[in-house]
Every structure is written in structure tokens, then in C-alpha cells.
Amino acid sequence: MDTTNGGYSKLAAEYNGHLRGGELGKCGKDLFIMAAHLREEGHRVDELKALMLSFFFDLNGVNSGPAINRSTAKRAADAFGASGLDRHEMEELYIETIRGDTVPKPIMSVKDSLYVFEVCLEGKTEEADEMLARFMEAQAEEYVGKLKGECPD
């Protein structure tokens, strides 16, 4: 990415400050705004990467609890369509961009989150919401089981 936009540089500096400070909710918002700048500059793959990260942050509840951000999903679908990437390339990009340690104690694996992301790219955000709800219910049951000593660590 070869961007010289001063607004983008300022946003990137704010993102890095929030990241160093552990303010991941703000990081997700920063990435969403940075993606708009990347779109304006024609960097659609980089826009998609920023939206992937923002999506993963929201999905893992770093802002106000796990959620599917519909605005991010819609913009990611648009960026994916304009990126020229095929499905396999997009999946590889997601796996390269999102790491297991992207957020502390992620609620969902990178591969699981990729599946939810792909469902959202197809415009099926209600289905993705249902998937997230089922996943959260399963995690809650597992947690309760651990508290009761029913599940090994």
C-alpha cells in the first residue's frame, strides 16, 4: 500500500495508539474509517483487509459484546466484489490477516470466524446472527460445565 494521504496517516497513528493502549473497540472503529480512505484511493484489497479486522474485532466482542456489524459486512462484500479476488484468495487473505492472537481470548477461532464472514459476504447477516447466537450459547454451556466440574480444561 502506497498511500500518502495525510488523513489516512493520522488515522493509522490513532489506530496504533489505540492498539498499544489495548483499546480494541476503538481499533475496530479506526479500521472501519481507514477502510473508507483506502477505498477512496482505490486500494480495494487493503480496504478489504481493514474491514476483515474490524469485523473480527466486532465478532469477538471487543466493543460491546459479540456482534455482526452489518455496515462492516456490507462494505466488506462490496470491497470483495471490487477487489478482483476469487473466493479462495479471499479466504487466504483472511487467514493471513486475522491471527489467533489478534484479540486476547478470542471467542471464536479464525476458521470459524471466516465461515461467519463468508456468510455475511453473501448478504445473509440474519443467518450469521443466528450462528453467532448458537456459538455463544455453546460457549456459555461449556463455561457453566467447567464451573460445575463437568468438563475438563
pLDDT at residue 1, rounded to an integer: 46
pLDDT at residue 142, rounded to an integer: 77
pLDDT along the chain (153 residues), means of 10: 67 94 92 96 97 95 89 98 98 96 87 97 97 90 75 55
Query: Is this structure's pTM higher than 0.75?
Result: yes
Spell out a b/e string for 26-65, using b for 16 or more CB atoms within 10 Å of the CB, else e: bbbbbbbebbbbbbebebbbbbbbbbbbbbbbbbbbbbee
